[in-house]
Structure 1
Amino acid sequence: MATASTLTEQVLAGLRTDILAGRFQPGTKLRVSDLSERFQVSASAVREALNRLSEQGLAESLPHRGFRVTPLSIDDLQDLTRARVLLESMLLRESMRLGDLNWEATVVAALHKLQGLAILRSDGEVDADWVDAHSHFHHALIAGAGTTRLTDVAMNLRDRAELYRHWSRMLAGDSDRGVGAEHAEIAELAVARDEAAAEALSAHIERTTDALIAGLPELTPP
């Protein structure tokens, strides 16, 4: 029989996948009763999962009104982008300085797996396997720095940015962007210990922000 902790983890994994795949739009209300029925678990397991999602920045707790998917906002996006650029570029530089042959192999393997997957499924939705491989690739780039705490912070920020990355591609008309080529360039420069890798990673992160702001005029401040 599944434990309460196991049930919470199952709900958390399912909701996280749905949110990152764009099945719940930003700002959508997450009703405990609906989710409890959907996952066939208790309301307490759903609430715990939603609290965990809030800690990850993918959901928000509304006082006396439950939870919702984190809404999009230009101010939040710009602050998030700046934080990611500063932290991830620093960690990548440290990875290039300290990373060994195993780190290089991990980066190359993560890129290979990512390139073997299509972003979209046949039904037009983002493939959950691609989302996971994308996250693993970005983790591999910075893991060579040898600081678990900062790496965890960077990945939490990256998870929150995944909402923006998804809507940038789906709503901002950025589908022609050569994301695969960007990933390949970053990986190649990184394993070559080329300082330009950090610049390429920063540009990769910033392009998502530029595409979203340009393509979603409803987010532009009056």
Structure 2
Amino acid sequence: MTIFFESQKCHFNAWKYDIHHNDPSLPNLMWRCDMENNQVTGVLNDWDLGVGKESRHAGLKRTGTVPFMSIDLLDHPLGNVPHLYRHDLEAMTWILTWAFLVYQRIPREKALELVGKGIAPRARQRADMPSVLRNWRIADYVTCAKEKTHFLKSLVFSPPEPAEDFKWGWELTVKLLFLLKAESDTRYNLARDKKMSYEQEPDDPEKYLRSQWEVIETHVAETGKLRYLLALKPDGL
């Protein structure tokens, strides 16, 4: 998870300075290995779809990689929803979901051995990958949005199981998915009551990332697990 949260921290800091990535995806999360110090650092790659403060377009063009895109962006085929920080943060949560449910973990010793030989270790895909995720990869935008919405609703009753060696991180990921659903329900209710539309929604990176870190810190306090994540919390939250 170090690679993930370091990349997320990089993404947040860039957004604060009006550099918006707009396409967080699993292939765009990379890592750099310092063999001398036995240290791995997360790297957020591929800023080709990113926009800056001086961008020529208003951020209404729908961008992203389908399996990891936010439900809002998937569900608006005309791209008429402003691309907000929370959309990229949601994509990050889908990345964790995909990683924990689709792949099996490579033992650290084996990974370091491969790196020492100049070979990039590749995670193995599970033979029993949950079928619900397959439509995220092959479906069109709207269908993928429906599949993800159903996935969030079904978490309470029938959450899918990760590979045995990934259960350590799946518990926290489920809590982040519950947060995602709660925030989505709140926005839906506001829109239904005509108290806020997508066009009126302010971009508030600190609000959404702070909520996520409250979940993380509570999880660490309650379980005693993943304490190393606390050092990766962005400044100012």
TM-score (norm 2): 0.24
Which has a greater percent of helix? 1
Q: Higher relative contact order at CA 8 Å, sep ≥6: structure 1 or structure 2?
A: 1
TM-score (norm 1): 0.25
